[in-house]
Amino acid sequence: MPANLTQQYHHAEERYRQAKTTEEKLKALQEMMAVIPKHKGTEKLQADIKRRIARLKEEGQKKKQSKGGYNPFGVEKQGAGQIVLAGYPNCGKSALVGALTRAKVKVADYPFSTPLPVSGMMPYEDIYIQLVDTPPLTSDNVPPGLLGTFREADALLLVIDCSTPECLDQLEGLLEVLQEREVIDLSEEGEIIAPVPFMVLAAKIDKAGSEDNLEVLRQLRPELEIAPVSAYRSDTLEPLKEKLFALLNIIRIYGKAPGRPAEMEQPFILRKGSTVLDFAGMVHKDFPQRLKSALVWGSSRFDGQAVPRDYVLEDRDVVELQL
């Protein structure tokens, strides 16, 4: 299938070629990803752009770390991915992190009860996802170090208190603050553009008036996915876990040595769109040069099918490398 790339894409690609700094390259790649036609003919190109974006973000993070200096809001990444929560005072962030993980968060009725980030590990099937509770964010209270934590996250959750009439103001305030500081971005059609993917959580959905407020929010911002959730209702927490896994845009791949059962206990975590070659590089740095092909169970047409190095893997595939 032909790619049929648009003029907008070619303009963004040219800006990428001419970019001098990491920030300029990243912005151009993000625009390429936003305007590229989404169909089967561009799947490999989309995967390549995503890999380049991830690599540039990682390089930028390493440069920041090499400059030194202690950031009290910095949180070391753990697990399959790091999701950071952002929200106004008393929006319900801490209660959610406490309900989804074993983190010792402080839930209080007074504002600013979380002075520094607190992280916990949320179990999801056979992996753990790191959730990070952060100090409250308002339009006139945005610590610079906290912005760095948001930018370096794998994904963000914008948490609003759906039980209050000010929930729309909270949502608009969060979007404005984070967009102005180029932490998140949206296209004119409402499609999420990198740098950081995000989702909106309507917290405290168990409170009186929340359902009506949620309906108003969805009518006024139909382009956003707004997930209702309560820290005290498991029927909202369990579906949320699946949404958070999807938000990370990752896949789980299980290795298999020749003549042995697959190692299903600890999957390798790769970005969605990754290939057999990407997986080989994760197993061992020398494997990509030695790799000939692979056998795949799962997304292949039949179990144990031989596939080429550029075969795009899917979640829960089992892979046996042929070196």
Span 143-164, pLDDT tens digits: 767 888 898 899 999 999 999 9
Interval 27-32 mean pLDDT: 86
Condensed to tens digits (0 to 9), the pLDDT of residues 128-146 reads 999 999 988 887 777 767 8
Query: Is the pLDDT score of 190 beyond 60?
Result: yes
* Res. 323: pLDDT tops 60: yes
- Which residues neighbour 132 within 8 Å (Cβ) at sequence distance 6 or greater? 75, 82, 83, 84, 85, 97, 117, 118, 119, 149, 153
pLDDT at position 132 is: 95
Q: Using one digit for the tens of pLDDT, what is the confidence trace for 273-284?
A: 999 999 999 898
pLDDT on residue 160:
96
- What is the rounded average pLDDT of the residues 8-15? 84
- Structure confidence by residue, pLDDT tens digits, 64-102: 655 555 667 778 899 999 999 999 998 999 999 999 998
Average pLDDT, the chain: 86
> In order of start, what are the domains of the chain with their CATH numbers?
7-66 (no CATH), 82-248 (3.40.50.300), 250-322 (3.10.20.30)
State yes or no: pLDDT of 242 exceeds 80.
Answer: yes
pLDDT (0 to 100) of residue 39: 79
What value does the mean pLDDT take over residues 222-249?
Answer: 94
Lowest-pLDDT range, 33-42, 94-103, 223-232, 302-311? 33-42
Torsion over CA of 95, 98, 101 and 103, rounded to 10 degrees?
140
Asked whether the predicted pLDDT for residue 318 surpasses 60, the reply is yes
Measured CA distances, 54 to 28, 155, 271 (Å)? 13, 13, 9
Angle between helices 93-100 and 234-248 (to 10 degrees): 90
- Give the pLDDT score at 201: 96
pTM: 0.77
pLDDT at 300: 93
Question: How much is the average pLDDT of 54-60?
Answer: 73
